[in-house]
Amino acid sequence: MAKNRFSQGSGPTQRQLRVGELIRRTLSDVLNQGDIHDPDLNRMSITVSEVKTSPDLKIATAYVLPLGGKNRPEAIAALARNKSELRRALSKDTALKFTPDLRFVIDETFDRMDDTRELFAREEVQRDLDGEEE
């Protein structure tokens, strides 16, 4: 049974990674500069940590987090409400043949890092880690 590069086990292609990074940088710049005509969105400081694209590059999922991690639902709602204006800015600022449909998801990476730090700070984990060094 032959595996193609789009099968479940393979990761993203170089092209997907390159386009995802281009979209991430462009979205970050657009949001940072306040180019969108929505006062709610312009009041928020939103970090775009990663953009993953589908294999056909027609869908781009942006992983975002508002400053301080607060107002997550409002941030997603504001981004979704302005999706067409963000796509228009993307098409203007990038040389992509087709501008992908944008999806916005809260980036949970920072929460998982905090949980991991808390886990390593526990007394019983520290005891186990100290026991490995001996």
- Report yes or no on 43 lying in a domain: yes
Handedness of CA 94, 97, 103, 109 (dihedral sign): negative
Q: For residue 97, give its domain range.
A: 14-107
Mean pLDDT, the chain, whole residue set: 84
**Between 73 and 117, the higher pLDDT residue:** 73
- Report yes or no on 29 lying in a domain: yes
CATH of the domain at 60: 3.30.300.20
Residue 37 has pLDDT above 50, yes or no: yes
Taking only the tens place, the pLDDT of each residue in 61-104 is: 999 999 877 889 999 999 999 999 999 999 999 988 999 999 99
- Report yes or no on 34 lying in a domain: yes
Q: So what's the pLDDT on residue 133?
A: 53
Beta bridge partners of 102: 60
- Report yes or no on 87 lying in a domain: yes
Predicted model pTM: 0.74
Q: How many domains is the chain built from?
A: 1
- Report yes or no on 64 lying in a domain: yes
End-to-end CA, the chain: 49
pLDDT tier at 1 (50, 70, 90 boundaries)? very low
- Report yes or no on 113 lying in a domain: no
**Between 128 and 100, the higher pLDDT residue:** 100
- Report yes or no on 63 lying in a domain: yes
